[in-house]
Amino acid sequence: MSLTDKILRRMERVAPDRRVFTRSDFIDLGSTDAIGMALQRLMKSGRLRRIARGLYHTPTTHPSLGELSASSDAIAAAIARRDALRLGKSEAAAANLLNLSEQVPARAAYRIDRRPRSSQLGQKIEFRQRSPRKMAAARRTSGLIMAALHSLGPRHITAGRLEHLRKSITPRDRRRLIRDIRFAPAWMHQYLRFIAGKGTLR
C-alpha cells in the first residue's frame, strides 16, 4: 500500500465533521518530506483542501449548500494535536453549550494552556491563553462547567441554573467534578459541590 493510500485510509476512519489534519497526524507513516508530497498529491486530486499553511481538510458536500467549510472545532482540535495543547471552549461558548446563556459568541474562541504555533488563520479562530491550573480539567465535563460558571460570574449564578447542570450531567461526571474541584477558584466550590450532589447552597 502506498503512503498516499495509507493517509487516505487513516483520514477515512475519522468522522466527516472532524476531518482536519496536519502533517503530524501522519508522522508515523513516513518522513516529513514524503508526507508533504503525498498531501500535495491529494490536494491536486481534490481529495484534500488547504485551510491554511500546514492545515488540510477533506471536502464534504451538502445537497443544498454545496461544499462545506471545515468546522472551527475541527480546526482547533487539529492545531491542539499538532502542538500538544490542552484545548477547551471559551467561557462564553461553554455557557451557551450548557444552555446557561443564549448569547452566541461572535467568533469561535478557545482556551489553551500555551500559545500555539502560527497557523495563519486570520480572524477565523481566536485562542485565549489560560494558566495550566485553569486548563487542567479542560478536556472533561467538569472543565466545561467551570468555564461556564466563570462566564456567568457569582452574581448571575442562580439555583435554577445550578439545578439544570445537576440534572444534565451523568453520575460519572458528578464524581469527576468532585475530584476536579481543586482546580476551581474558591468562590466556585459551593456551586460545584451542589452540582455534584454533595452539598447545599449557602
Cα separation, 94 vs 74, in Å, equals: 16
User: In this structure, are 89 and 174 located in the same domain?
Assistant: yes
Instruction: Tell whether 27 and 98 lie within a shared domain.
Output: no
CATH number at residue 18: 1.10.10
Q: What is the pLDDT of residue 64?
A: 81
Same domain, 120 and 150: yes
Within a domain: 202: no
* Distance, CA of 143 to CA of 97 (rounded, Å): 13
Domain count, the chain: 2
45: domain range? 3-68
Residue owning grid cell 492545515: 55
User: Which residues fall within 8 angstroms of residue 73, CB to CB, at 6 or more apart?
Assistant: 18, 108
Q: Is the pLDDT of residue 120 over 70?
A: no
pLDDT given at position 86: 95
Burial degree of 110 (CB within 10 A; 0-12, 13-18, 19+) = buried
Expressed in angstroms, the distance from the first to the final Cα of the chain is 64
**Chain centre to alpha carbon of residue 170:** 20
With 70 as the cut, is the pLDDT of residue 109 above it?
A: yes
Domain boundary at 20, 51, 68, which? Answer: 68
Q: What is the mean pLDDT of the chain?
A: 92
Say if residue 115 is in the same domain as residue 133.
yes
Q: Higher pLDDT residue, 60 or 42? A: 42
Asked whether residue 80 falls in the same domain as residue 158, the answer is yes
**What residue type is assigned to position 143 of the chain?**
G
Confidence of residue 160 (pLDDT cuts 50, 70, 90): very high
**Beta pairing, strands 55-57 & 49-52:** antiparallel
In this predicted structure, what is the pLDDT of residue 61?
Answer: 80
User: 177 falls in which pLDDT band (50, 70, 90)?
Assistant: very high
C-alpha cell at 44: 491536486
Q: Does 189 lie in the same domain as 107? A: yes
98 and 175 together in one domain: yes
CB atoms within 10 A of CB 53: 9
- Alpha helices (H) along the chain: 3-12, 32-44, 72-83, 91-97, 132-135, 141-152, 159-168, 171-180, 189-195
Q: Tens of pLDDT along 2-39?
A: 999 999 999 999 988 899 999 999 999 999 999 999 99
Mean pLDDT along residues 63-75: 86
In the predicted structure, residue 107 carries a pLDDT above the cut 90: no
> Contact, 72 vs 124, CB < 8 A?
yes
